[in-house]
Amino acid sequence: MTQISERILVQAHLAGQQARQLTPAQEAQLRGEIAAELGRQDAVLVAHYYTDPVIQALAEETGGCVADSLEMARFGRDHPAQTLLVAGVRFMGETAKILSPEKRILMPTLEATCSLDLGCPVDEFSAFCDQHPERTVVVYANTSAAVKARADWVVTSSCAVEIVESLMDNGEKIIWAPDKHLGRYVQRETGADMLLWDGACIVHEEFKSKHLADLKALHPEAAVLVHPESPEAVVELADAVGSTSQLIKAAQTMPNPLFIVATDRGIFYKMQQLCPDKRFIEAPTAGSGATCRSCAHCPWMAMNTLDSTLQSLRTGSNEIFVEPALIPRAIKPLQRMLDFTQQARLSHAGNA
Ligand code: SF4
């Protein structure tokens, strides 16, 4: 699914990164320069949980945010800064631009993409939708602006089950794209009638149920936390399944002293910060013989570095543009998601 050229690009980037190991003094200097530049340019850093811990810490120190893709979108839209520096992968920058077309959206790199986005080209997806005109089109946030513009709803993993449940209650049948594992999980949770696109995340697909079962047996005191982009056999071994935010919440509320975590290891930064007395270990992957370096870390998220963050701010390069004609169409399904989740929050608060 992932193009060879994309892999070569990522590998070249990662090789360059290995060559540039920062000393603590260099790192502190870069952080200081980025913080000053953010202030000078009325900019705010919005980072995903899967980025390097140093980027997450910098976002927190400078008044930005570290969050899942839903909260990144909401934070960027509501923040008064005129420049959003989005550390994550390309669809996150595009989402920020769609929701805030008047703002300047920069990214540390424009080359950081996502296997789910790559695996769902708009022409093929549109043709698939055209074959099933009676179905409501629900796409995951990990898609291009053009695919979002073809959709009725955008969802993230933190609200997918609730949104699909409510569509099912309205008697709607669904086309789901692009992640087949998350789609299958949502289908199982809701019982909805869903046609699934055949996409997958190259990181989560590497988690192996057999090795996970062995590790769980070795640590009976541990709870297993699994992101639903993982294969079904891995999800079945979970003590808690959920989005990044939901897994962080589970780590805080579950009493276990140890957690085996099946999602990108970038999330350990926030988990450890919120649960300093607990331990977190990576769920096993296939190891070095597998695809995608099989390492529980997204190669595209790893392309966000302090160097590229500063470079982007200084030069104004890596600005995200979205075709203007797409914006009014792409904003509708995104806005539906934001309205739905806002409403759900209000009613939870009301019931509390
Ligand atoms: S971890 Fe997977 S879903 Fe997330 S950006 Fe990377 S490839 Fe895409």
Question: Measured from the CB, is residue 300 less than 6 Å from ligand 1?
Answer: yes
Q: Within a domain: residue 293?
A: no
The number of the ligand 1 atom at minimal distance from the alpha carbon of 264 is 1
Judge if 91 and 175 occupy the same domain. Answer: no
311 pLDDT above the threshold of 70: yes
CA of 115 to the centre of ligand 1 (A): 6
Judge if 11 and 97 occupy the same domain. Answer: yes
The mean per-residue pLDDT over the stretch 160-186 comes to 97
The mean per-residue pLDDT over the stretch 156-181 comes to 97
Question: Measured from the CB, is residue 322 less than 6 Å from ligand 1?
Answer: no
Q: Ligand 1 pocket check: which of 202, 205, 227, 285 to mutate, most ligand atoms within 8 Å of Cβ? A: 202
> How high does pLDDT run on average in the chain?
92
pLDDT at 221: 97
43 pLDDT above the threshold of 60: yes
pLDDT at 167: 98
| pLDDT tens-digit map of 88-140 | 999 999 999 999 999 999 999 999 999 999 999 999 999 999 999 999 999 99
Residue nearest to atom 1 of ligand 1 (CA): 298
Judge if 151 and 122 occupy the same domain. Answer: yes
| pLDDT tens-digit map of 284-297 | 987 644 444 456 78
Token readout for 116 is 């789910």
Token readout for 16 is 């360059």
Structural domains in the chain (count): 3
The number of the ligand 1 atom at minimal distance from the alpha carbon of 88 is 5
According to the annotation, is 159 in a ligand binding site?
A: no
According to the annotation, is 140 in a ligand binding site?
A: yes
Name which of 197, 192, 139 is nearest 165 in CA terms: 192
Query: Where in the sequence is the domain holding 47, given as residue range(s)?
Result: 6-114+300-315
According to the annotation, is 228 in a ligand binding site?
A: yes
Judge if 83 and 73 occupy the same domain. Answer: yes
Question: Measured from the CB, is residue 194 less than 6 Å from ligand 1?
Answer: no
Residue nearest to atom 8 of ligand 1 (CA): 114
The CATH number that applies at residue 231 is 3.40.50.10800
- Residue in this structure with the two tokens 């202030």, named with its chain if needed: 39
Query: What single string gives the DSSP state of each residue in 156-178?
Result: -TTTHHHHHHHHHHTT--EEEES
pLDDT at 161: 97
pLDDT at 2: 47
Question: Measured from the CB, is residue 115 less than 6 Å from ligand 1?
Answer: yes
Judge if 34 and 99 occupy the same domain. Answer: yes
Q: Within a domain: residue 253?
A: yes
Q: How far apart are CA 237 and CA 241, in angstroms?
A: 10
Q: Within a domain: residue 295?
A: no
According to the annotation, is 166 in a ligand binding site?
A: no
Judge if 135 and 213 occupy the same domain. Answer: no
Query: What single string gives the DSSP state of each residue in 258-298?
Result: EEEEES-GGGHHHHHHH-TTSEEEEPP---TTSGGGGSSS-
Judge if 11 and 105 occupy the same domain. Answer: yes
Judge if 250 and 304 occupy the same domain. Answer: no
Question: Measured from the CB, is residue 267 less than 6 Å from ligand 1?
Answer: no
Residue nearest to atom 6 of ligand 1 (CA): 298
Residues in CB range of 343: below 8 A, 6 or more apart: none
Q: Within a domain: residue 320?
A: no
Q: Within a domain: residue 243?
A: yes
Q: Within a domain: residue 288?
A: no
Q: Within a domain: residue 294?
A: no
Q: Are 163 and 155 in contact (CB under 8 A)?
A: yes
Name which of 201, 190, 198, 202 is nearest 160 in CA terms: 190
Q: How far apart are CA 315 and CA 213, in angstroms?
A: 49
Q: Within a domain: residue 291?
A: no
Question: Measured from the CB, is residue 201 less than 6 Å from ligand 1?
Answer: yes
Judge if 110 and 10 occupy the same domain. Answer: yes
Residue 344's pLDDT band (cuts 50, 70, 90): confident
Judge if 93 and 146 occupy the same domain. Answer: no
CA of 200 to the centre of ligand 1 (A): 9
pLDDT at 9: 58
According to the annotation, is 201 in a ligand binding site?
A: yes
314 pLDDT above the threshold of 50: yes
Residue 38's pLDDT band (cuts 50, 70, 90): very high
| pLDDT tens-digit map of 141-154 | 999 999 999 999 99
Judge if 28 and 110 occupy the same domain. Answer: yes
Question: Measured from the CB, is residue 202 less than 6 Å from ligand 1?
Answer: yes
Residue nearest to atom 2 of ligand 1 (CA): 201
Q: Ligand 1 pocket check: which of 118, 301, 304 to mutate, most ligand atoms within 8 Å of Cβ? A: 301
| pLDDT tens-digit map of 200-258 | 999 999 999 999 999 999 999 999 999 999 999 999 999 999 999 999 999 999 999 99
pTM exceeds cut of 0.75:
yes
H or E element in which residue 66 lies: strand 65-67
Judge if 16 and 78 occupy the same domain. Answer: yes
Q: How far apart are the first and last CA of the chain?
A: 45
